[in-house]
Structure formats: structure tokens, C-alpha cells
Chain A
């Protein structure tokens, strides 16, 4: 069953009087208990999509221009602010790349954790909260939790801070966790710890995860399905194995081919995607990948391709995917 439906979502930003559509008709579903990857490079709209789900678009510049976001059938953009506050943090929680921006630097960890309980259950007993906070820190693998509760965020390492963030997100046993590049700033051995933790927690709690990243390695490792975004639009969506074994969109193909791999011969020429992503003030009217695509035809420059079903469960937005795939 879909727990979250993103339906033709468009998000616009007002930049000095000019309205720019930064997310353009993005659609995907999230099944209960699954891990869905959203992958793409800087500026592809993956973080803006996440913020829209949370109702956290920067005001007043950003707004939902069209489409809908439904959580268990309920339309989020049209909810009253109090009801949205209840869902945000309680039913849908989010963690970010840099926990320091989300943690209060002058409050002890224990106080901040307790607050997540008090916010939603103000009459909870103090002893019970304390026990639950200890339990949470233990659950996310923080050693000596009793001592950590009395410490400030700056006294923790980056990996430990991310664990605290995850603990706070888990406090209300959310149905959905949105993780926006939570391991990007971490060292690779610490990243491995956090990914393992997320996998374990999901097994225990059954929550669904939307994992946003630029790292296709992390996607391959953690997710069951992924959405590939480029310049504000969806390029492709597929279960992980077909996505990596037989990508249909030229952008996904180029991206997969340009990653240096450990098994490569050193000092060989890497495949590249020529050119650069168009800026948001110079988006073309046709396919947004057209200026970098090796398969570009006249039609691509004229018309934006619709997202169509390629193979079962595999959708692609490319005029020429059939010819390229052949």
C-alpha cells in the first residue's frame, strides 16, 4: 500500500520578482516499510521535493505551484497548520546532512531529546521521558547514553551527532523517515556505521525511508527502488536492480558510466557527460538534458518528454529511450 503519494508536484521559487519552477511535475509513491532512493546532482530538486513533503519550503520565496502530496490519502499542502505540525515530526520525520544546523548548540542532548516528546505529549511523566531518551540513545548505538544526555552537541563527533539526530527523529515512531544526504559529510567508515544503523532500525520499526543522495553507491546498497532527478524533473524511476543493470535514460546511463570504480584499471579515461547542467534561469523548453545528451534529436529540443512506463515498474522520461535501449 502506498503510504505517501507525490502527484505531479511542482514547486516554484520567487527570485527577485521572477517565478522559477525548480521542481516540475514530479510523481512517485512510497510504499509502507520500503526504502526509496532519490538521486541526482546539485540543483536537481531532490532536497526541495523533500522540504515540500515536510511543509518546510522557505517562506515566502518557495511555494507549491501545482500537484499534490498525499499522506495516507490526506492532502498535505491543504492541511491546517496545526494538523501539519502534528504530522511533521510525529508521523513524518526528517534528518539532514549537517546535524549541527538542526541541533541547538546551547542545549544539552537530553533536554533536546525530551523536547521531542513534550512537544507531542506534554503531560508525559519526567522519569518515563528520561528512560525513553536513554532507550533511544541505546537504540541508535550511542555508548554511555547516561553521560551523553548531559553533553552538548559540540562535544560529540559528526557520526555521534548524526546518531542523536536519528534518535530524535525516531522518538515518535514515525511512519516515514526522510533522510537528506545524512552521510555525505561523514567519513566512509562512519558512513558504513550509519547505513547499517538505518537498515537495522527499519527492520525493527517497519518505517519507510526516503533516502536522498548524490551517491549511487549508497542508493545501490540501501534502497529497493530509486527516482533519478535532473534539473528539477524526474528522468527515471525503477527498482534498484533494473536501474543499475539496464538504465533507460541517457542521463542515468551517463551518470553510472562516469563513476570511478575500484575495479577499474587506474589512469584510464573516464566516460563523461559533456557540458554542464543548465542554470535555473536558462532552462530549455524541451528536454532539460538535451544540451548534454549524445542521442539528442530536434524533437528533444522542442518538447519536454513525458514520464512513460518502459518496463513493468520502470518509468522513463525520454523521447528516444526505445531506440537507445534497442
Chain B
């Protein structure tokens, strides 16, 4: 936790992102996709916040909006006390030294026609750091740090496997020694035996560099393994926040409970007390009134349809947005 008087490394306050839906030849706005609504959380140096939820819950949009890859509709994102949402171009460029992002498919973010060396060197070039010799040495060190041979610098991304390409993406992300990395489904496409290698690498780098991580993924077991705290999202909103341990041991929100119980356990003797949610996730274009989860919640009562639950602090930095969580 940050000290009482200071700011955390990152404070996200009421972050909202709506995407307009345009139609007709004049492209008039005919509706809004409520991708992210009033999301708030904080993050300390060296800490990992996991953002978990199913497709369309807005977790990736949160990651991209707080980096200003999307312009937020409302709300503030304060990095070391400065509001990212009002920064100008040059301030933003300077900020990119401190905040980096790693995506699911590294081949989308690695230029296929550049050598690995050039890709990893690029951040130094953009920020005018070091001589050519120094940069070459740094690239070699970075490659070794992420478990690749320095000789990889002269090869091209397509010559590497998915796991190795993700290592290249990580080498580039840590090049400027950032304070925060947003990992957006960074290990989701990898096979289990490779996924565990990359998770260990990220945990190592975090300890070594006191990195803060926002770890976005749909696999709750993976998120739980890398996170200190977890925020569970449903249809654009955070429904529950708690420590990684608590959220598994004592989930408060009915959605979190269902999400955890739906995970297939690699243990044939495990007791399965499964909550199978009925129906599909409703559309974020016209989200349900009241509590957005009420259409699938087995505890829903009449006023859940009408009254939106507030995010309630429940101590130890945890919070839950449900009218009736105490009675469940």
C-alpha cells in the first residue's frame, strides 16, 4: 500500500470509454457501446493488479485507454500524480518511457521486416539514448535477460516460436526500464509448458526492477498466479476487487463466484459444486438496467433490475458492487 499522504503509482478514477456506433451515409451516431463505465483502481510500485473477465467485459479497453491508445470519454488516469488524460503529445511521448504494453500476439506488434536487434533497439533510438555501440550491447543484454541468445539480434521475428516472440516483446518493453507494464492477454495464446516459462520471467523481472504490472487475462487461474490484487469486470464495470488469495477463497460477488466455479480443474477427484450461468452476456450497446449482472444472476431480486449497486468498500482494499452480497 502507498503511504497515507502520497499518491500511488497509478490511480484510475471513474474511467469511462464509450464507442459511438455510426450508421447511414452521414455516419450519424445512433448509439454508444458502453465498453468501460466508471472504473476506478490504484496500483503501487512493484504491485500486480489482475483485470479479469470474459470477452467484451472491457478489460482490454481499460488497458488501452489508460495508455491513451484510446481517448477516454470521462474520468482521470493519474500516473505519479499527473493526469495522463490531459497530457499533450510531448508529455505523452516522455510517459511511454515509464509505461509499456505487451500484447497477446507479439507478431502484431513486432515489425516483421526488422531484425530482432532493430526492434529492441528502437525505443533507445526514439528516446535518443546511447551510442550505436552502447545500444548494441544493451540489446544483447536484454536478449540474455529474457532467455534468448544475443545472436537472436540478427534474425527476424518469424524465425521464432510464439513463446520466443513473446520474450522479444518483453525485451522491448523493459528496454527503457519502465515503472509499469500493461500485459494484455500476454500469455493467453501460449501452450501451457511455454506459458509457465513466460509467467516466471515476468515475475522475475517484476522483482528485479520493482515493476508494477496490470495483468489482463480471461484465465482466472493465470491471473491469480501473477497478481497481488484482482479486479473482476463484467459488462464494462468492476464488480469486485480483492486480494488474489481472498478472491479465490471467499468471492463476494455472485459473478465472481460463478466465474471461479466454471473453471475446469485439472483434478478428476475435485468436488464440483458448479454454478452454471444461464444465457449469454448481454450487449454492451444497451446494457441491462440496474445491476448489469441481474439478467444472469441466480440471486437477482426485483430491485436489482432497477437500482444500480454502488461500489462498496469492504475493508483491506477490497470492494464489491452488489446489493445483497452480505446475505449470499
Contact = CB atoms under 8 A, between A and B. Distances in A.
A75 interface: no
Interface in A149-197: 157, 159-160, 187-193, 195-196
Nearest to A264: B225
Interface size class of B (residues with CB under 8 A): 35 or more
Given A254-B193, A266-B228, A241 B269 contact: yes
Contacts of B281: 187
A216 B219 CA distance: 14
B222 A221 contact: no
Interface residues of A, number: 49
B259 A220 contact: no
B129 interface: no
Contacts of A214: 191-192
B269 A190 contact: no
Interface string B230-251: 0000000000000011001000
A8 interface: no
B21 interface: no
Contact of A259 (B192, B261, B272): B192
B266 A189 contact: no
Interface in A272-291: 272-274, 276-277
B60 interface: no
Given A260-B225, A266-B225, A270-B200, A220 B265 contact: yes
Contact of B259 (A189, A217, A260): A189
A197 to B, nearest CB: 10
Interface of B: 48, 54-55, 161, 163-164, 191-197, 199-200, 203, 218-222, 224-228, 244-245, 248, 258-270, 272, 274, 276-277, 280-281
Interface of A: 41-42, 157, 159-160, 187-193, 195-196, 214-221, 240-241, 244-245, 254-256, 258-274, 276-277, 292
Nearest 8 interchain pairs by C-beta:
A217-B264, A41-B191, A260-B225, A258-B196, A187-B54, A273-B193, A192-B262, A270-B196
Given A192-B277, A244-B269, 20 more contacts: A41-B191, A157-B280, A188-B219, A192-B274, A195-B264, A216-B192, A220-B265, A241-B269, A244-B267, A259-B192, A262-B260, A265-B245, A266-B224, A266-B228, A266-B244, A267-B48, A267-B226, A268-B225, A270-B196, A272-B196
